[in-house]
Amino acid sequence: MLSTRRGIRPLGVSDLDDFLALTARDPVVNVFAEYRARTTKLDPRWMGGEMWGRFADGELTAACHVGANLVPVQVAAEDAAAFAQRAAERRTFVSTIFGPEPAVRELYAGLGGHRPPPRDLRWSQPHLELAHEPLIASDPAVRRSTQDDLDVLYPACVAMYTEEVGISPETGPGREVYRTRVQQLISRGWSFVRIEDGRLLFKAEVACATPYAAQIQGVYVAPEHRGNALSAAGIAAAVRLIQADIAPVASLYVNEWNVPARRAYARCGFTETSRFATIMFP
């Protein structure tokens, strides 16, 4: 039996195949970590952090993304305790822990006093998947955004982020970083909008994608248009565009208390497959 201190090391380029085999055990839930691995090849120069692996008898059995986000990958309770101890010993501080709820709870508990008080704790977030065509018609006005839409789209992205996270992405030096991120999503074809008469009514983005799944983020309806079914039809349109040429399965996770959003996703045909949790630090 490995102790909580042995059997963990940073992964590198030579570990990529083994890591992808690990994420393939649940490729939709693990889409963020797999996306990071595929885009960086686990090369530390491009990771902006590290990917830690835990081994048993030479086999990679669990992993944890360690950067701005702490994200468990196929992590059981014992793995979480080991990763948390390593993070505490190295005084690794992150802005967010997210992923499957049981692993997040164990990581959070294991960090103990080696972390600042959280700014927000969000437990039991339904993780939803849609692997077939949406059950309802698409909003025909929803389309991929272009760079010409940026001046209309960007304020809505800021409003959505602030409403969801509780702080503005433009705080401090964040404005240029966040604006660049929005532009990158547009360039990749991962941004979807409905704009009428120069006003944004609906938007959604793909946060990350692999050959198996795409994770949706940033679903937003302008406040004055909420409650009129724009959300469900807009999501259906975005999912069809995603399934056509990005990935066969669309996924997302949502706050348990957000009943209107959960109803919209259910109308589209999303079903719950897991529970996530998100912990945000100052």
Average pLDDT, the chain: 94
What pLDDT shows up at residue 50? 94
Give me Rg for the CA atoms of the chain.
19
Give yes or no for a contact between 275 and 126, defined as CB atoms under 8 angstroms apart.
yes
pLDDT band at 11, cuts 50/70/90?
A: very high
pLDDT band at 4, cuts 50/70/90?
A: very low
Q: Is 208 helix (H, G, I), strand (E, B) or coil?
A: strand
Q: Tell me, yes or no, whether 108 and 135 share the same domain.
A: no
Percent of the chain whose pLDDT exceeds 90: 84
Has residue 60 been placed in a domain? yes
Has residue 281 been placed in a domain? no
Q: Tell me, yes or no, whether 245 and 145 share the same domain.
A: yes
Which of 68, 134, 173 minimizes the C-alpha distance to 269?
Answer: 134
State the CATH number of the domain containing residue 268: 3.40.630.30
What pLDDT shows up at residue 77? 94
57-102: pLDDT as tens digits: 999 999 999 988 999 999 999 999 999 999 988 877 788 999 999 9
Domains: count for the chain: 2
Q: Tell me, yes or no, whether 86 and 211 share the same domain.
A: no
HSE-CB for 15 with a 13 A CA cutoff = 25
Q: Which of 90, 115, 140 is the last residue of a domain?
A: 115
What pLDDT shows up at residue 228? 80
What pLDDT shows up at residue 174? 72
What are the b/e assignments for 193-212, b being 16+ CB within 10 Å? Answer: bbbeeeebbbbbbbbbbbeb
Q: Tell me, yes or no, whether 79 and 171 share the same domain.
A: no
pLDDT band at 1, cuts 50/70/90?
A: very low
Q: Tell me, yes or no, whether 97 and 184 share the same domain.
A: no
Average pLDDT over residues 217-240: 94
Helix (H) or strand (E) holding 104: helix 101-111
Residues in the chain: 282
Q: Tell me, yes or no, whether 146 and 251 share the same domain.
A: yes
Q: Tell me, yes or no, whether 70 and 162 share the same domain.
A: no
Has residue 24 been placed in a domain? yes
Q: Is the pTM of this model over 0.85?
A: yes
Q: Tell me, yes or no, whether 157 and 264 share the same domain.
A: yes
Percent of the chain whose pLDDT exceeds 70: 98
Which of 219, 182, 189, 194 minimizes the C-alpha distance to 204?
Answer: 219
How far is Cα 82 from Cα 87, in angstroms, rounded to an integer? 9
When mean pLDDT is compared across 38-42, 55-59, 132-136, the lowest value belongs to: 55-59
Q: Tell me, yes or no, whether 137 and 250 share the same domain.
A: yes
Has residue 2 been placed in a domain? no
State the CATH number of the domain containing residue 111: 3.40.630
148-182: pLDDT as tens digits: 999 999 999 999 999 998 899 998 777 789 999 99
What pLDDT shows up at residue 5? 43
Which range among 6-15, 43-52, 119-128 has the greatest average pLDDT?
A: 119-128
How far is Cα 115 from Cα 9, in angstroms, rounded to an integer? 22
Has residue 168 been placed in a domain? yes
What pLDDT shows up at residue 6? 53
215: containing domain: 130-275
Q: Tell me, yes or no, whether 79 and 206 share the same domain.
A: no
What pLDDT shows up at residue 3? 40
CA distance from start to end of the chain: 37
Q: Tell me, yes or no, whether 145 and 265 share the same domain.
A: yes
Give yes or no for a contact between 119 and 151, defined as CB atoms under 8 angstroms apart.
no
Q: Which of 115, 148, 171 is the last residue of a domain?
A: 115
Q: Tell me, yes or no, whether 140 and 264 share the same domain.
A: yes
